[in-house]
Structure 1
Amino acid sequence: MKMGGKNVKRILETILLENSQASTTTQDGVTADKEKGVTTNTKEGATTNKEEEEEGKKKYDFLRHYLLLFYKDFKGFETNHLDDFTNAMRKNSRVNLAEYESTYMERDLIFQPGEMGEGIINGKRKKNNDIIKDNLMDFATFTMKMAGDTTKKLLEIVFETLQKRSREKNAAVEELQKTKNELIADPHVIDRIYIIKCGATFIYKPCRSYFYIK
């Protein structure tokens, strides 16, 4: 389970990195962070230690939140699952893994019920020759698939959160664009408008201080 948690942590770190890269543009050594509306000159090292600490804390809180959700999904694991495989081993039998998976988790997106890919398991090993090893591998397969099922649920939450933020950001940009177009199209407002784009924010700066009045 802790190995699964480590893998989830790596996945979430990748998502954070990709999301960060998607929200930044680099021009002439200057990185403009669209979400923050700030500009950091990477050549001059303008990013302060305080900003780095704040980013580090945000990352820590993000990862910790989802890792806690990951481990919470395994609550009661020993009582609900380990005993089933232990009892099967004591009776010199095996759990019907395909049926067992269908009872406790959603269908895996990669592997068929009761199966695990070669490379994870030893495809050359003959089954039913060692009941203890077979049961241990069945239990490991179930544990990995349950971890995969939990990870999928977490990624669905992260995906929906990122999609929602993206929609909100796009809506804000569209509203600003609409306002800009209305100002430019209205001859009564301002002779000319210089538009300075700062991240996702538009600032309208008139080049004259008077209005045209018909």
Structure 2
Amino acid sequence: MKSVHVLLAFVLFALASSLASAYDPSPLQDFCVAINDPKLGIFVNGKFCKDPNLVKPDDFFFTGLNIARNTNNQVGSNVTLVNVDLFPGLNTLGISLVRIDFAPNGGENPPHIHPRASEILFVQEGTLYVGFVTSNPNNTFFSKILHTGDAFVFPLGMIHFQVNIGKTAAVAFASLSSQNPGVITIANAVFGSMPRINPYALARAFQLDVDVVKALQAKFWTSNN
């Protein structure tokens, strides 16, 4: 009897873990165009669905990704995320799109993670040095130099980055496996959090002098999104 209870507990734990780790569930209808007015629809996957009889072609249309973005910032890049908040037709489809503009000579999309999505990156123009690092304990680094027409994939949750190593501006597009993938930029999160993380904790973690950590925290950390 005890073994039966153990087996039942294991099954329930596995089921609970599966449900807890689920994200972007598969839709049970053809589409669910997101709206903000609760009086005009039903609540599905974090958004209200527009009445299907009122849906129009423009709900599945987005324009403007041909426009170059300003890369005059500390990291030399600009990330334009097209997620469900900007593109209502993406709701429940589990996808989103990104345009990334890079300044010449080192424009960088700094190390970051997407907690809810894998990513495939396509280089439309330029030359990028890209890579990601696997989880503990190996922390294996995979990298590649990409040219126009090349693509590279970043698995879900892995720290990854892209750097323009060319002398001209670069442009890349990425597709992500979530309608709202999220992003955590490592440097911003660690050294630019509000309120600040205790510098002594960071000094121990990064094996740095406390004054170095304080200097990093004093810098103006900014987002390229």
TM-score using structure 2 length = 0.23
Asked which structure has the greater CA Rg, the reply is: 1
TM-score by length of 1: 0.24
Greater helix content: 1
